[in-house]
A and B are shown apart, each in its own frame.
Chain A
C-alpha cells in the first residue's frame, strides 16, 4: 500500500511537466502554400508528396470547422500557429544514439525512457518523437531481419516511396473532414510500419509522443500496413510538458489490414489536461481509422484516455473484407474541467463481419464525458453482428455523462445489440471496502479499476500497469 501511495504522491503534480530548451527551426507563422512548400522542402520530399499536400490544402480552404461536438472551445486562429518546428541538431540525422543532443537524451531520462536500456530490457523498439521529427529508431536490425519496416514517416517517404504512395490517404483521404485534411496538408512526421506477408511481429512496437515547442500544432501521421497473414501490436503513449496556452494536436492514424492480418493498436493518452481551474491543456482532435481490407482481417483499438483538456476522437473500423472483425475498447476518464467526446464508428460492408464495442466513461469534478458512436450495417453486409456496451460512472453532480449512439441497420440478416447504463459508486460498495481497511480513495481506485477491468485486460502488459496507475491518479481528489 505504501509504495502505491508514494507513486501517487510522485505523480500527483504532473510529472512530465517540463520543457527542454533547444533552439528550434520554425516555419514562419501561419498557413499558406509557401509554408507547405517550406515543410516539404526541408524534409526533402519528392514531388508527388508535395502535390498530395497541396491537394489537401486546396480542399482545406473550402472546408468549415465543424461545431456539432459537445465540448466547445475558443476559436483557434490557424494563421497564428507554427506548422513546423524541429530541434536544430536534427538537421543532419545522427547515425547512432551517441550522436544525439545530450539535452534530448536527458528529456527522455526524465520521461523514464532511457532509450538504450529500456528498449533492450523491455524488448520494445522505441521510435521516440520529439516535437515533429523522429530522433532515433532502435531495434531496427532485429526487425529488418524479419523484413519489417518500422521507421519515421519522412524516412519511409524517402526509402519506401512505393508503399507510401500506394497506401497513404487510402483510409483517410485528403478530402476528409476539416482536421484530417489539415493534417494531410501540413503533417510533419510520424511512424510508418509495414509487416510483410506471413510475419508475426516479434515485439510490441511503440512510439512515445512528446509535444515540446510552444505554440506548435502537432500534426503526426501514422501509417500501419499489415500484409497478408501478418500480425502486429502497436503501442502509442503520449506525455506533454505543462503549458498555459492550449495546444492543438490533430494527428491522423491509418491502419490497413489485408487478408488474414491482424492489427492491435493500443493508446495510453496522458497529455496535460489543464490545471484544476481548467486553464491550459491540450486539444486532442485525432482522426484514427482502420480498414479491414482483406478477408478474415481484424483491427482492434484499445484506448485509455486520461489527459487533454478536450478529447475529440473516434477510432473507427471499416469492415470491408468478408469475415473481418473490428473491436473497440475504451476507458475515458475526465476530471476537473476536462471534456471528452469520444467513441467509435463500425461500418460493416462485407459479409459475416463482426464488431464489438466496450466503452467505459468516468467523469468527476466539473468534467463532461460523451460517448458518441455509429454502428452502420450496410445492405450487403449479410449475417453481420454488433455488440455495444457503454457504461458511465459519475462522481458528483457537477459533471455530466452522455451517450449518443447512432444505430443503422439495413440488413435483415444482421443483429445489433446495444446496451448502456449510467450509475455511481454506491454507498454500499464504498462502505464494504472501507470496512475491510481501505481508505476512501483506495476504495474508489479499486472499484473504478474493477469497472474498467474488461478494457484494461485488453492492454499489453507494459501498458496495463501504467494504465492502472493512471486510473488512480486521474481521479485524485474526486471523492467526498
Chain B
C-alpha cells in the first residue's frame, strides 16, 4: 500500500498546479497517513469495525490516483423528483455541475482551493488521506442574514469507470450570522469496490441554522467514510440526520464542538441493514460552554448477517454548566446472525448538568405481533407495521416538512 500511495501521490501532485508550500502541506499529510496506515481495531474508535480489514477483504489493493481532467456524463435519472432544489453533482470525485439557480448570487460564494490546514483535534489517518489526495477543496460561504430558499442537494455518484479506487472529497461550509442552509447528501454509486472518503467542515456563526441530511439508500458494494466536523457559535443550531442502509460498509462520524452559549446539536439516525452490511455511526459532542444542548436518537433494524455499531460520546467541559445532553440508541435484531454493538459514553467534568443515555436491543415483541395478528393482519404485515412504527419515530424528528416527506417516500413509508 505504501508504494502505491507514494506513486499515486507523485502523479496527483504533477497534475495539480500547487505552490511549494501547498505541496509540503500535502506531503506532510501523506507521511502521516503512511506511518499510521488505515485505522484498525487496535484503535479505540475503530474497535467494532476494522476498516483496514474491511478494505483488505472487500477491495484488496486500492489505488489512490484519480484523473480529474476528463469530464463525465451526468446521468439525470439520479436527480431527486418532487422537490425543487439546488444541485452540486460529483462524479467519481470530480465536480461536474453546480446549479445554485434558486439562490441570490450576491449572498452565496463558492470558491475552490487546493489545500487547507487540518485543525481537528481527534483526527484520524483517513482525514490525512483525504488531505493528501483531494483534488480541490470547495468552500461555500453563506452571507449574513441569508437563508437558502431551496435545499441544496449534493449528489455523490460514481460510474463504472472506477474500480478499486480511493476517492476523496472535501467541502467546507461557512454560515455567517443568522443564515441558514438545508443540505442533503445523496449517495448514489453505480460502481463497486471503491473507498469513498468524504470530509465536511462546517463553521456555524451566531444564530445560524444547519440542517444536514445524509441519505445512503441504494444498495451498492462500496465502502464509505463520512466525517462531519461542526463548530458552533452562540445560539446556532445543527440538525443531522443519517439514513444508513445502502453501502456494504459505511461509517458516519460527527464531531461537534458547541462553543457558544445556547447552541444546540441534534443527531438522528436510522440503520436498516441486511446481507453482510456493516455500518457505524460515531458521534462526539463536545459541550464546551454553558447552556448548550444535544440530543441523539439512533434506531437500527438489523436483518440477516448485518452488523450495526453506534459509538456516541458526550463530553462536558468543567465550564459547561447547565448542559443538557441526551442519547438513546435502540436496535431490533431480526435474525440470528445480526449483531448490534454500542458504546454510549459520557465524560463529564461539570456538576450542574443533566446528562443521560439509554441503549436497548432485542427482538421484535412477540406480544405486539400477537396483538396485531389477532386484529386480522398476517405475520409479515404485523412485523412490517411494527418496524415502520419503530423507524418513523426517528423520521418524525426531522424538522423540515418537505424533506421529511421526501425521506418518507424514499423508504416507502406512507403518511
Chain A residues packing against B (C-beta within 8 Å): 68, 379, 392, 394-424
Asked if A398 and B361 sit within 8 Å, CB to CB, the answer is no
Are the CB atoms of A403 and B351 closer together than 8 Å?
no
Given A409-B340, A424-B352, decide whether A419 and B347 contact each other with a Cβ distance below 8 A. Answer: no
- B75 to chain A: which residues have CB within 8 Å? none
Q: Which B residues lie at the A interface, using CB under 8 A?
A: 44, 318-319, 321, 331, 333-363
Please name all residues of chain B whose beta carbon is closer than 8 Å to the beta carbon of A410 when the two chains form the complex: 339
By the criterion CB–CB under 8 Å, are B356 and A419 in contact? yes
B340 touches A401 (CB 8 A): no
Shortest distance between the CB of A413 and any CB in chain B (Å): 6
- Are A400 and B341 neighbours in the complex by a CB distance under 8 Å? no
**What distance in Å separates the Cβ of A25 from its nearest Cβ neighbour in chain B?**
44
Q: Given A409-B339, A412-B335, check contact A399 B361 (CB 8 Å).
A: no
* In contact, A416 and B344 (Cβ under 8 angstroms): no
Using a Cβ cutoff of 8 Å, how many contacts connect chains A and B? 113
8 Å CB contact of B361 from A396, A403, A416, A419: A416
Q: Are A422 and B352 in contact (CB under 8 A)?
A: no
Please give, as numbers and ranges, the residues of chain A lying within 8 Å of B340 by CB-CB distance.
407-409
B360 adjacent to A406 (CB under 8 Å): no
Interface pair A394/B346, CB less than 8 Å apart: no
Does B344 lie within 8 Å of A409, measured CB to CB?
A: no
From A398, A403, A409, A423, give the contact of B357 (CB < 8 A): A403
- Residues on the A chain within 8 Å of B344, using CB: 403, 405, 407, 418, 420
Q: Which of A68, A415, A420 has the most CB of B within 10 A?
A: A420
Chain B minimum-CB-distance residue to A393: B351
Q: In the docked arrangement, what's the CA distance between A430 and B343, Å?
A: 34
Complex Cα distance, B334 from A404, in Å, reads 27
Q: Contact: B338 with A412, CB < 8 Å?
A: yes
B177 to chain A, nearest CB (A): 31
With contacts A400-B349, A416-B362 known, is A422 near B334, CB below 8 A?
Answer: no
Write the chain B residue with the least CB distance to A383.
B363
> Does the CB pair B357–A394 fall under 8 Å?
no
Known A-B contacts: A397-B321, A418-B357, A423-B354. Give 18 more (CB < 8 A). A379-B337, A396-B351, A397-B319, A397-B349, A403-B345, A403-B346, A404-B343, A404-B346, A408-B341, A409-B340, A410-B339, A412-B335, A416-B361, A416-B362, A417-B360, A420-B346, A422-B348, A424-B352
Which of the residues A404, A408, A423, A424 comes within 8 Å of B345, measured between beta carbons?
A: A404
In the complex, 16 of the A-B residue pairs with CB atoms within 8 angstroms, ordered by the A residue number, are A379-B336, A402-B347, A402-B348, A404-B345, A404-B346, A407-B340, A407-B343, A407-B359, A408-B339, A408-B341, A411-B336, A412-B335, A414-B362, A417-B360, A419-B358, A420-B356
- Determine how close the nearest CB of chain B comes to the CB of A65; give it in whole angstroms: 17
Q: How far is the CA of A396 from the CA of B353 in the complex (A)?
A: 11
- CA–CA, A379 to B356, complex, Å? 29
In the assembled complex, the CB of A165 is this many whole angstroms from the nearest CB of chain B, namely: 37
Known: A405-B359, A413-B363, A420-B357. A395 touches B351 (CB 8 A): yes
Minimal beta-carbon separation of B287 from chain A (angstroms): 12
Name the CB-closest residue of B to A414.
Answer: B362
- Residues of B close to A405: CB separation below 8 A: 342-345, 359
A399 touches B341 (CB 8 A): no
Report the Cα distance A408→B308, complex, angstroms.
10
Contact among A406, A421, A424 with B356 in the assembled complex (CB-CB below 8 Å): A421
- Once the chains are docked, how many angstroms separate the CA of A403 from the CA of B347? 6
B307 CB → nearest A CB, Å: 9
> Which of B333, B346, B348, B349 is in CB contact (< 8 Å) with A409?
B333
- Would A397 and B362 be within 8 Å (CB), given that A403-B345, A410-B339 are in contact? no
Q: Distance (Å) between the CB of B211 and the closest chain A CB?
A: 29
A416 pairs with B359, CB closer than 8 A:
yes
Which 5 pairs across A and B sit closest by C-beta, in order of nearness? Answer: A412-B333, A415-B362, A394-B351, A418-B359, A403-B346
Closest to B356 in A: A421
Q: Is the CB of B348 within 8 A of A394?
A: yes
Residues on A with C-beta less than 8 A from B355 are 421-422
- A408–B345 alpha-carbon span in the complex (Å): 14
CB distance from A101 to the nearest CB of B (A): 49
- For A394, what are the chain B residues with a Cβ–Cβ distance below 8 Å? 348, 350-351, 353
A-side contacts of B345, CB under 8 Å: 402-405
Q: How far is the CB of A406 from chain B (nearest CB, A)?
A: 5
- Which residue of chain A is the closest to B321 with respect to CB atoms? A397
Query: Which residues of the other chain, B, contact A415 by a CB distance below 8 angstroms?
Result: 360-363
User: Which of A406, A407, A412 has most B Cβ within 10 Å?
Assistant: A412
- CB of B354 within 8 A of CB of A409, answer no
Interchain nearest-CB distance for B138 vs A (Å): 37
- Complex alpha-carbon distance, A392 and B336, angstroms: 35
Q: Complex: how many Å from CA A415 to CA B333?
A: 10
| Residue contact B360 to A400, C-beta cutoff 8 Å | no
Report chain A residues within 8 Å CB of B319: 397
Residues of B within 8 A of A422 (CB): 346, 348, 353-356
- Measured CB to CB, the closest approach of chain B to A66, in angstroms, equals 13
| Contact residues in B for A402 (Cβ distance below 8 Å) | 345-348
Q: For B336, what are the chain A residues with a Cβ–Cβ distance below 8 Å?
A: 379, 411-412
Q: Could you tell me if B334 and A412 are in contact, using CB atoms closer than 8 angstroms? A: yes
Residue of A whose beta carbon sits closest to that of B360 = A417
Expressed in whole angstroms, the Cα–Cα distance for A402 and B353 within the complex equals: 13
Q: Which residues of A contact B318 (CB under 8 A)?
A: 397-398
**Chain B contacts for A404, CB-based, 8 A:** 343, 345-346
Q: Which residues of A contact B361 (CB under 8 A)?
A: 407, 409, 415-416
A417 nearest CB neighbor, chain B only: B360
Closest to B364 in A: A412
Separation of A395 and B352 alpha carbons in the complex (Å): 9
Contacts of A411 in B (CB 8 A): 333, 336
Partner of B331, one of A397, A406, A409, A423: A409
**Given known A-B contacts A400-B347, A415-B362, A416-B362, A407 and B356 have beta carbons under 8 A apart:** no
B residues near A401, Cβ cutoff 8 Å:
346, 348
Task: Select the residue from A405, A409, A413, A418 with max chain B CB neighbours within 10 A.
Answer: A409
**Alpha-carbon separation in the docked complex, A416 to B300 (Å):** 14
Contacts known (A404-B345, A408-B341, A412-B336); A397 close to B357, Cβ less than 8 A: no
Asked if A399 contacts B334 (CB within 8 A), the reply is: no
A382 to chain B: closest residue by CB: B336
Residue in chain A with minimal CB distance to B310: A407
B351 A397 Cβ-Cβ under 8 A: yes
- Bound-state Cα–Cα, A444 to B69, Å: 70
Of all chain B residues, which has the CB nearest A407?
Answer: B342
A402 to chain B: closest residue by CB: B347
Distance (whole angstroms) from the CB of A415 to the closest CB of chain B: 4
Whether B347 and A424, one on each chain, are in contact in the complex, defined by CB atoms closer than 8 angstroms, is: no
Whole-angstrom distance between the Cβ of B172 and the nearest chain A Cβ: 32
Q: How far is the CB of A387 from chain B (nearest CB, A)?
A: 10
- Shortest distance between the CB of B65 and any CB in chain A (Å): 37
Q: What separation, in Å, do the CA atoms of A397 and B343 have in the docked complex? A: 25
Q: Which residue of A lies closest to B346 (CB)?
A: A403
Shortest CB-to-CB span from A393 to chain B, Å, is: 9
Across the interface, which residues of A come within 8 angstroms of B348, CB to CB? 392, 394, 400-402, 422
Cα-based distance from A46 to B336 in the complex (angstroms):
49
| Inter-chain contacts of B358 with A (CB < 8 A) | 417-420
User: Contacts of B357 on A, CB cut-off 8 Å?
Assistant: 403, 418-420
CB closest chain-B residue, reference A388: B359
Roughly how many angstroms separate A158 CA and B275 CA in the complex, as a whole number?
Answer: 58
